[in-house]
Amino acid sequence: MNDKLLHIQNPVLSIIDLSISYGEDKYAVKDVSADVKKNAITAIMGPSGCGKSTLLRAINRMHELYPNIHTKGEIKLNDQSIYDMSTTKLRRKIGMVFQRPNPFPTMSIYENVIAGYDLNGSKLKKSEKDEIVESSLTDVGLLEEVKDSLNKKGNFLSGGQQQRLCIARTLAFKPDVILMDEPTSALDPLSTAKIEDLLVELKEHYSIILVTHNMSQAARISDNAMFMYLGELVEYDKTKKMFTNPKDSRTEGYLTGKFG
């Protein structure tokens, strides 16, 4: 197995022998080990039910919200175990964007962007808050479109705009890693393209892990790609290499559409 895995110098994230099960013995993720490159887009692909979302959600310890999910193994962020810090601290360093855009409906656009800080009880001056909101919205290319409606609630925004708002909300913390769980699967092709362009821009300053069921998306924008099947990490390589010359037959089967 090891020769099918990518070796990375100074990875931003290291996953070591990670196994995740529902209940006592239903394993969704089996013994996964991988290093994630800094300032790059790493895609996790695979057919439905292969465990890619489960793997992603372990990285910011979301599974701890659900008592019947058991996690074994280690994950390190910049050489520090994620279990050595509180989840509140961890989730400022590792942000998450979800499949369906979920801005908080009772908050205005401004409040949504700064929500992370407000929820964490930070006492920031108004000028500091303004700056964070402005720069986050600029980074996602939304500022021009909403700058006159910052105090309105976001329900008039289109799906793509709402998702960019959610990304801005995550960027406000300037996290080290951004986890994205199929962020464009609920969006139309135009919005999808906009967000894909955004991700390519963002990787200059952030490390992005992108779960996607759309292999062309992975091919378009990711630098490295993991292929998962039935809970195992089958292959992990530079994207171009994996797509042109997959090492495992299962990978090849998936990429050529034999199953999926």
Partner 1 sequence: MVSEKVIKNLLKASSVIILLIFAGMAYSMIKGAIPAFKEFGVFGFIFSTDWNPTDGKESYGAMPFIAGTVITSLLALIICFPLAFSTSLFISEYYRKTRIASVLSTLVDLLAGVPSIVYGLWGFYTIRPLIAELGYSGQGYGIFTSGLILAIMIIPYATSISNEIISMVPTELKEAAYSLGATRMEVIFSVIIPGARSGLVAGYILALGRALGETMAVTMLIGNANIIPTGLFSPGNTMASVIANQFGEADGLKLSSLIAIGLLLFAVTAIVNAIGKVIIRKYA
Partner 2 sequence: MERKAIIDENDNSNWRELKNKLFFGTVVVLSTLTISPIILIIYELLVKGLKQINFDFFFKVAPDTLQAMTAVRNGEIIPGGIANGITGTLLMVVVASVIAIPISLIIGIFLYENQGKRYANLIRSLTDILQGVPSVVLGLIAYIWIVKGVTKGFSALAGSVALAIMMLPLIIRSTEETMKMIPISIKEAGAALGVPYHKIILKVMIPSGFSGLMTGILLSISRILGETAPLMLTTLGSTTINFDITKPTSAVPLQIWEFYNNPNMIDLVWSSSLFLMAFVLTLNIIAKRISMKFS
Contact 153, 106 (CB under 8 A): yes
Tell me the closest approach of the beta carbon of residue 75 to partner 1, in angstroms. Answer: 16
Closer to partner 2 by CB, 93 or 153: give it.
Answer: 93
113 binds partner 1 (CB under 8 A): no
Distance between CA 115 and CA 130 in Å, rounded?
Answer: 13
Residue 70 DSSP SS3: strand
Residue 109 has a CB neighbour count (10 Å cut-off) of 26
118 binds partner 1 (CB under 8 A): yes
- The residues with which 90 forms a beta bridge, in sequence order, are none
Measure the CA angle with vertex 179, ends 227 and 204; round to 5°: 95
- DSSP label of 197: H
**What is the Cα Rg of the chain in Å?**
18
Contact window for partner 2 (CB under 8 A) among 117-125, 146-154, 191-199, 239-247 = 117-125
183 binds partner 1 (CB under 8 A): no
Distance between CA 210 and CA 226 in Å, rounded?
Answer: 10
Q: Please list every residue from 49 through 78 that binds partner 1, using CB under 8 A.
A: 60, 62, 65
Contact window for partner 1 (CB under 8 A) among 44-52, 151-159, 169-177, 193-201 = 169-177
List b or e across 66-101, with b for residues whose CB sees 16 or more CB atoms inside 10 angstroms.
Answer: eeebebeeebbbeeeebeeeeeeebbbbbbbbebeb
Pattern 186-225, binding to partner 1, x per CB under 8 A?
----------------------------------------
Q: Please list every residue from 139 through 168 that binds partner 1, using CB under 8 A.
A: 166
135 binds partner 2 (CB under 8 A): yes
Q: Please list every residue from 145 through 174 that binds partner 2, using CB under 8 A.
A: 173-174
Instruction: Note the residues at the interface with partner 2 (CB under 8 A).
Output: 86, 88-89, 92, 117, 120-122, 124, 128, 132, 135, 139, 173-174, 205
